[in-house]
Amino acid sequence: MTDSSGEDGFVKQTLKMLAGTLGFVLCAVGILGFVVAGFAIDYIDEKLEEDCEGVKGTLVTETDLDEGKCGEGSAARDLLVVIQYPLLIAGIACGLIGARVF
């Protein structure tokens, strides 16, 4: 029989604590990423509305004075919209895993 209070128990306990801490850190990163993505989407929407829509935007995009920035901004916004909720879900999942490990 092995003694669980020996070095083997200490290693398991340390690994559980590290895994739990990593889970909570990833949880915070995921939730923070969700919030930051929301702010970035709003900012890009405002910039696209200012610079790429309306009479000024039509003139700029038709004469290619924007050098493709309107298209790049729209693509970046679409990417952020796609990854925003998976970041939240991953953060919550990591938090739940971290809570279970502790």
* Average confidence (pLDDT) per 10 residues, the chain, 102 residues: 63 87 93 96 89 65 66 88 94 89 62
Residue boundaries of the structural domains of the chain:
38-102
Give the up-direction half-sphere exposure of residue 1: CA atoms within 13 A in the CB hemisphere. Answer: 3
pLDDT in the model for residue 42: 94
Extract the tokens encoding 21: 């801490």
pLDDT of residue 53: 73
Alpha helix (H) residue ranges in 1-102 = 7-52, 54-62, 69-101
Q: What is the pLDDT of residue 1?
A: 42
Token look-up 């279970």 returns 100
Q: Look at residue 4 in the predicted model and tell me its pLDDT.
A: 52
Contact criterion met (CB below 8 Å) for 50 and 79:
no
Check residue 53 and report its DSSP letter.
Answer: S
